[in-house]
Amino acid sequence: MSKPLTSWFVWGFSLTVAGSAFAQAAGTSGSVSVSSADGATSDASASAAAPKEAAPADASASAAAPPKGEPEAAPFEPYESGFPPEGNVLELGIFGGAIFPNSDHNLRYEAYPQKPYATGAELGARLGYYPLSFLGLEAEGMAAASKVKDTETSAALYALRGHLVLQAPLPHVTPFILGGFGTLGAISRTMANDADPAWHFGIGAKFPLTHALAIRLDLRDTLTSNQQKDGQAQTFEILVGLSSTIERSRKQPPPPPPDSDHDGYIDSEDQCPAEQGVAPNGCPADTDTDGVLDKDDFCPREAGPAPKGCPDPDPDKDGVPLPCDLCPKEVGVKPDGCPIRDKDGDGIFDDKDKCVDKPETKNGFEDEDGCPDTVPEAVKKFSGVIEGIYFDKNKATVTAKSKPVLGNAAKVLNSYPSIHLEISGHTSSEGDPAVNQRLSQERADAVKQWLVDNGVAPERLKTRGAGAEEPIADNKKAAGREKNRRIEFRVLQ
């Protein structure tokens, strides 16, 4: 710290200590002069030492009680008791003083030559809020009349700043320190108008006169950029002013009426003062009428079984408890506990239905997308009896001349991968029924294998041997029996 700054702080600390000692001496003085009714003056300490004479009974009674019908006057609060700061108060202040601008300042417009300012007289005002007796926040503004040295041109200095105040909440003197940030500016014809950011700090003391009024002394040091912009220029201030606190209560609020059971109903109106209760009489209640008194009921507004009195947290037993379950009467799924809906009723839930407003056409073609559709014409050609599939007599061997038909069938099936087929084999009624049934199954399996060998996924094909049980023509005639020996394709849903 520079030597001038050290000197200022030593001087300020000395003034603070001296003020504290003076206030303590004034507050503890044991001799006070008082005037008698006839104008005579006596020493209070001597009066206190002298024996007291008995006063007339009616005189003491009239002195002890105020006239009937008038409010009791507030007792006089002597200075001896002091006025320690309190918390949660606003503090308003006005001040005046002197400012000593640093000769190395940079409060000028860059195009103008730098010249020092003379000592100035300043006036200002401040507003503070003290949430605690020892801690406060203040904002203040000041303006000072000065001159530019060597030119005698008038100049004005000004500042806007805020700071944090830490003070010792003593009854007769309140020393404090402060620090904060703001701006320091100057206006003159010689150096124009300029304002620089400024840190400031200081020490001081408040000397209370009453509970709401105090004399205040501040010693400040303000740091701004110097002329070379490579360091700080220190500007000192001495401030003296008056501070007044508002919204400061000196009387304690009356104690609240007793409420023994702490239920919000004072004992004089509580019919059950030893038990916590509710309106209208302060006695225990059962708001939800579930048999569990409110004082023991964890859910006093919702009926539920003992011992906690809360409803079932998962009434639909879907694993999603209340209040997360938005559909508590329907079995649903996570996260909201609601079932997945099927708006168009086609059996495909809306989360997988591409057409939630239109039902799926169950025809075996793309039955999982939830949209109406028709079976492609190419697929329709391979539904029902498939002409052109041949086998060796009484065998399940597919002949070569079946290749064109089966080749086209494989091509269509590979073009529509959602199609699933049932391949059924049929025979005439000639021969042993068991043999016919086995032969029809083997022939259906042989067609499936041919298609699988040509790229059709085996899980898309189902086979069935019907034997002679499903004729489409008269087995008594040769032409009819020939028609009954056949392979049929059916699109599966």
Question: Tens digit of pLDDT for each residue in 205-218?
Answer: 999 998 889 999 99
CB 414 within 8 A of CB 407: no
Residue whose entry in the numeric block shows the structure tokens 């201030």: 237
448-486 pLDDT, tens digit each: 999 999 999 999 999 999 999 999 999 999 999 999 999
User: How far is the CA of 281 from the CAs of 226, 261, 271, 290, 452, in angstroms?
Assistant: 75, 13, 6, 20, 86
For position 355, what pLDDT does the model report?
78
User: How far is the CA of 386 from the CAs of 42, 424, 454, in angstroms?
Assistant: 140, 10, 18
Confidence of residue 370 (pLDDT cuts 50, 70, 90): low
CB 101 within 8 A of CB 235: yes
**CA 102/CA 154 separation, integer angstroms:** 17
Exposed, middle or buried, 192 (CB in 10 Å: 0-12/13-18/19+)? middle
Q: E-assigned strands of 115-264?
A: 120-132, 135-148, 153-167, 174-188, 192-208, 213-225, 232-246
User: How far is the CA of 262 from the CAs of 202, 283, 288, 295, in angstroms?
Assistant: 49, 12, 22, 12
Helical (H) or strand (E) element with 115 = none
Residue 130 has pLDDT above 60, yes or no: yes
For position 351, what pLDDT does the model report?
67
Q: Regarding predicted confidence, which is higher, 298 or 16?
A: 298
CA dihedral defined by 79, 84, 90, 95, rounded to 10 degrees? 70
CB 182 within 8 A of CB 32: no
For position 353, what pLDDT does the model report?
66
**How much of the chain, in percent, has pLDDT values that exceed 90?**
49
Residues of the chain with CATH 3.30.1330.60: 377-492
Residues of the chain with CATH 2.40.160.20: 84-246
Q: Where are the alpha helices (DSSP H) in 310-402?
A: 377-380
Say which range, 94-98, 275-279, 341-345, 406-410, has the weakest mean pLDDT: 341-345
CB 214 within 8 A of CB 243: yes
Residue 37 has pLDDT above 50, yes or no: no
Buried b (16+ CB within 10 A) or exposed e, 271-285: eebeebbbeeebbbb
φ/ψ of residue 205, rounded to 5:
-155, 150
Residue 311 has pLDDT above 80, yes or no: no
Residue 429 has pLDDT above 80, yes or no: yes
**CA 181/CA 27 separation, integer angstroms:** 37
Name which of 493, 492, 489 is nearest 381 in CA terms. 489
Residue 43 has pLDDT above 70, yes or no: no
Residue 366 has pLDDT above 90, yes or no: no
Omega before 323 within 30 of 0, i.e. cis: yes
For position 75, what pLDDT does the model report?
43
Say which range, 76-80, 94-98, 320-324, has the weakest mean pLDDT: 76-80
**CA 444/CA 22 separation, integer angstroms:** 121
Residue 20 has pLDDT above 70, yes or no: no
Which structure tokens are listed for 108?
């000028």
DSSP one-letter code for 443: H
Give the three-state DSSP class for 81.
helix
**CA 376/CA 492 separation, integer angstroms:** 14
Give the three-state DSSP class for 292.
coil
Omega before 4 within 30 of 0, i.e. cis: no
Residue 60 has pLDDT above 80, yes or no: no
Name which of 396, 401, 400, 399 is nearest 423 in CA terms. 396
Q: Which CATH class is domain 84-246?
A: mainly beta
Q: What is the residue-averaged pLDDT of the chain?
A: 81
User: How far is the CA of 16 from the CAs of 9, 172, 175, 179, 243, in angstroms?
Assistant: 10, 12, 7, 18, 17
For position 27, what pLDDT does the model report?
44
CATH architecture of 377-492: 2-Layer Sandwich (3.30)
Q: Regarding predicted confidence, which is higher, 174 or 13?
A: 174
Residue count of the chain, please give it.
493
DSSP one-letter code for 142: E
pTM for this structure?
0.40
Residue 250 has pLDDT above 80, yes or no: no
For position 338, what pLDDT does the model report?
79
Say which range, 4-18, 26-40, 275-289, 426-440, has the weakest mean pLDDT: 26-40
> Terminal CA-to-CA distance of the chain, rounded, Å?
94
Which structure tokens are listed for 237?
């201030």
Mean pLDDT for 329-347 is: 73
CA dihedral defined by 334, 338, 344, 347, rounded to 10 degrees? 60
Confidence of residue 332 (pLDDT cuts 50, 70, 90): confident
**CA 166/CA 444 separation, integer angstroms:** 100
Residue 426 has pLDDT above 90, yes or no: yes
Q: Regarding predicted confidence, which is higher, 374 or 291?
A: 291
CB 203 within 8 A of CB 177: yes
Which structure tokens are listed for 6?
């050290």
Say which range, 81-90, 370-379, 406-415, has the weakest mean pLDDT: 370-379
Helical (H) or strand (E) element with 436 = helix 433-453
**CA 66/CA 465 separation, integer angstroms:** 122
Which structure tokens are listed for 98?
């002197």
For position 369, what pLDDT does the model report?
64
User: How far is the CA of 201 from the CAs of 5, 6, 166, 178, 320, in angstroms?
Assistant: 11, 13, 12, 5, 62
Residue 109 has pLDDT above 70, yes or no: yes
